Structure 1
């Protein structure tokens, strides 16, 4: 059970699935439904400070290299294309709405990058990301519980 919880949390931190994959993994491996939600949610929230550190420190260092810079520009353009209109126009609410949609490419990784690129206040960006993650987790959690038929 511990290994399944750890894997679910790692999926929730991973940019390849976030809690959109961590929650279903936990529930399909018979983790308590409430424990699965809470742990995957908090693991997903941890992405914001990790990404903020990355953008502030690591990113600035690696931008010196051509291939990294090219990849960073690609990611930045994709994020601006996906979240740009809403975040630029609505700020906090646009970022929250972008993050809460449980689709690939709309999670906290993209939300953190969007907040960074558009110069949103850190505290507001963290709150917008956290609320968006929470609502997204609720949608995924309830959908998964309905799909597996174990809404207790």
Structure 2
């Protein structure tokens, strides 16, 4: 039986939604559930979309914020974003910094995704490779949580 409520969303559109700040997998997985994607397809494409920005954020975010602070009209936005990330960074414990980044990204709540986790790691000068691994693993777990919420737990036992 054809799903009459399925939204016509392409893989590329799903990945773009997943890569969008603030929306990320929290918005993309439910979108996939409302579309024609199976849970495994939704997981794969939203995870890829979510992690594509991570290496760029980890590598470039401090430089980008520095440049934006000098641009009239964007300086306040750059300061706001940096301050917001640094305030959330207070939750990151020195002894467990990569575990903290992993858990921060893994919990699918507003403001705790790949963008913010990567920004925190970049601003605090964490190791690139370890941070990227923590962010990717966190996004992987966040995707599972969102699948469970969006598709129901039934797919796990089927």
Q: TM-score, normalization: structure 1?
A: 0.86
Q: TM-score, normalization: structure 2?
A: 0.83
Q: Does 1:143 align with 2:145?
A: no
Which residue, 112, 123, 133 being the options, matches 2:139? 133
In the alignment, structure 1 segments of 5+ residues that lack a partner are none
> Could you say which residue in structure 2 is the equivalent of 1:68?
74
RMSD: 2.3
Contact 1:44 1:133 in 2 (8 A): yes
Counting matched residue pairs gives 151
Q: Secondary structure at the match of 1:67?
A: coil
> Could you say which residue in structure 2 is the equivalent of 1:12?
18
CA positional deviation for 1:82: 1.7
How big is each residue's C-alpha offset from its partner over 1:97-122, in whole Å with a ceiling of 9 and x where there is no partner? Answer: 11111011000110111001111000
Which residue, 90, 107, 115 being the options, matches 1:109? 115
> 2:59, 2:87 → 1: CA distance?
23
> 2:37, 2:140 → 1: CA distance?
19
CA gap 1:49/1:140 in 2 versus in 1, 3 angstroms:
same
In the alignment, structure 2 segments of 5+ residues that lack a partner are 1-6
> 1:129, 1:84 → 2: CA distance?
17
> Could you say which residue in structure 1 is the equivalent of 2:4?
none
CA gap 1:65/1:88 in 2 versus in 1, 3 angstroms:
farther
> 1:62, 1:70 → 2: CA distance?
9
**Structure with greater helix share of residues:** 1
Contact 2:8 2:36 in 1 (8 A): no
